[in-house]
Amino acid sequence: MSINYAVIVEKYAERHFISKFKKKYKGAWDVTWNAIHEEFKRIDALIGETNIAETMTDQEGIRICKTEFRVHGTQESRHASGNRCIVAVYKNTCVVKVLVVYNKNDLGGGNETASWKNLVKENYPEYSKIL
């Protein structure tokens, strides 16, 4: 039996990233976000599919994962789209917190992983010690 997780979108993710996707993709974003939300409710199954969700760190009862998604109606694969979510999964309380939603072009050049880790550390100091 799979556990349903509560999905919480952090204000920073909503303000700085999701709002851009909403503006750019309009109605297609609503369909996309509903699908992402459903996947995160069953994050354990998503993590089992290693090409979609990758565990970046798993410490102190918190798993930080990077997931890939494509926007509804676009022809690209999840991976080719460059669209990613960074989430914190709390196993003991069954909560998934959406920290960052981005397209890798949003991060500027350089190392994608280093860029999102810096964003998370700057905006969510509670994760600094585990990243």
The strands making up 6-9's β-sheet, listed across from edge to edge, are 6-9, 95-103, 83-90, 62-69, 53-59
**Chain centroid to CA 55:** 11
Domains of the chain: 6-124 (3.30.2310.20)
Q: Give the CA distances from residue 120 to residues 18, 92, 131, in Å, rounded to whole numbers and listed in that order.
A: 15, 22, 9
When pLDDT is cut at 50, 70 and 90, the band that residue 3 belongs to is confident
Cβ atoms of 101 and 62 closer than 8 Å: no
Residue 60 predicted with pLDDT over 80: yes
Confidence (pTM): 0.93
The model's pLDDT over 61-89, given as tens digits with 9 standing for 90+, comes to: 999 999 999 999 999 999 999 999 999 99
Residue identified by tokens 């599919």 is 49
pLDDT bracket for residue 125 (50, 70, 90): very high
> Which pLDDT score is estimated for 108?
80
